Amino acid sequence: MNVSEIKSLQNDFVKYLVKLQNPKFRKQEKIILLDGEKTISGLIDEDIEFEYLLIKKGDKFASYKNIKNLVYVTDEILKKTSTTKSPSSVVGLIKEPHQDKNIFYKFNKIALIENIKDAGNLGTIIRSACAFGIEGIILFSQCVDLYNTKTIRSAAQNMFKIPIITIDDINFIKDLKKERRLISLVVNCDKSLYEADFSKKFIIALGSEACGLSEEIIKLSDEKLTIPMENNVESINLGICASVAFSLIKFKNGDFKD
């Protein structure tokens, strides 16, 4: 572990950390900016290797071993580099993990999320997918940055437990569909989610908060399902919708016991 200290807000590395808050620059660098004690602790529990960890002297995180570079900084630097309104006591950097999309050909239970824009909803979906046995997530088309700090906080330590890929190639979906049913969850249709059979390989597709699934995905679907609702409720939050679907799938697969 390399140990150093930075005291100036004008330091080039501090300026680099601030630039990483721009999604386009972050994607270009393939580096993930993390902050918040709960988030960092969760990733430490998962034994994630940190390229850099920024803390104040005497902080408990100094005893963590899986750090390449430990940097002692001031309160002002932590405030400058933190992405939250309340400055974090710890900021970290990790490399963006490489995910091979070909691993999805091995999976029986896949979730496809199209055009999701809300980072908090995406984090909730990731957490629920892990909890209820979804094997991998495909983010299709124009989705929010997977490694948005809000997504990471919402997903908590579950962020790296299952493969997640971002693609815009419909041919990949068509290829996966050769051995799997594509099931689209929509607002209005005749068949309820509760009536469906999930005993065979599938991709379950959910659309954006504002527009739902695209016609391209719906037309490609083998089946369309809806979640029946009462009291004239037209729709529910996408994260909640995904959680309901994933938990029901787990139940129908016989994973829950009475």
Alpha-carbon gap, residue 211 to 203, rounded angstroms:
20
What kind of fold does domain 2-95 have according to CATH?
A: 60s Ribosomal Protein L30; Chain: A; (3.30.1330)
Give the number of other CB atoms < 10 A from CB of residue 66. Answer: 12
Note the pTM of the prediction, 2 decimals.
0.91
CA nearest neighbour of 249 among 138, 132, 161, 142: 132
Tokens of 96: 């963006």
User: DSSP states of the chain as a string?
Assistant: -EEEE---TT-HHHHHHHHTTSHHHHHHHTEEEEE-HHHHHHHHHTTPPEEEEEE-TT-GGGG-S-EEEEEE--HHHHHHH--SSS--SEEEEEEPPP--GGGGGG-SEEEEEES---HHHHHHHHHHHHHTT--EEEEESSPPPTT-HHHHHHHGGGTTSS-EEEE--HHHHHHHTTSSEEEEE-SS-SSBGGG---SS-EEEEE-BTTTBS-HHHHHH-SEEEB----TT-----HHHHHHHHHHHHHHHTT-S--
Q: What is the mean pLDDT of the chain?
A: 92
pLDDT of residue 238: 93
Q: What is the pLDDT of residues 175-210, one digit of tens each?
A: 999 999 999 999 888 899 998 889 999 999 999 878
What integer is the mean pLDDT of 75-97?
90
Alpha-carbon gap, residue 81 to 88, rounded angstroms:
9
What integer is the mean pLDDT of 87-103?
92
pLDDT at 89 over 80: yes
| Superfamily designation of domain 101-252 | SPOUT methyltransferase, trefoil knot domain (3.40.1280.10)
Least confident of 98-112, 162-176, 184-198: 184-198
Cα–Cα–Cα angle for 180, 183, 184, rounded to 5 degrees:
145
Position 184, amino acid: S
Q: Where are the domains of the chain?
A: 2-95, 101-252
Alpha carbon distances (Å) from 7 to 16, 67, 73, 74, 250: 15, 20, 6, 6, 51
Alpha-carbon gap, residue 142 to 113, rounded angstroms:
10
Residue 256: pLDDT band by 50, 70, 90 thresholds?
very low
What integer is the mean pLDDT of 69-92?
91
